[in-house]
A and B are shown apart, each in its own frame.
Chain A
């Protein structure tokens, strides 16, 4: 697990940063297929609360994961200002509901610090490391942990 799941560029790796509430996160840009605005999802019965349902992405049935709920943060009813990051996770494509996309970061591996040892289960499970950029702390999300195991096994 020492190897970062990141995309090497001549100057390091590119990460897409986004915001949920007051916290900032980022994912490897290689996983990101596209960004789109929120559209109402069709609810799925018997599904965990962080699964908002499914939407039609040009003919593909795309599940939407409410990242706030997934990370155990306060979630709000999505509006048209919310953003869906369409990401490739393994063989599947998943929509991640976030508040807003902020920027593309180019960082080097050595800038990624280990996740501070905090009690939060969320931090341990989903955060691969943290970045300190201009006094901000940005958590690098491990996407392959975002879908529950039962879902990944079903793929």
Chain B
């Protein structure tokens, strides 16, 4: 079975881009439009091998989402990569404090995305 990646992003464009890159790389992809739906997906759908999440999202942002995932014993071991357009470190550090495993700087190319996922996926 190929690995499942949960992508959480409020931008349809970004979800589509992620989907395209990940499916081409042989992953299966599930999607959520914000942190809240991301948590619902975790409980309702197949447990993903890696989560890729945006930070700026309505309802529940990336930080809150990551914290919630890390608090849940069932999901705390899932690697989480955050998508960030900020490479200045401030957002990255906040995300890491929240429990992010790593990050992908937007705009990403698909090689880099897949590489980052490969690095953190068991």
Q: Do A and B interact directly, with beta carbons closer than 8 Å? A: no
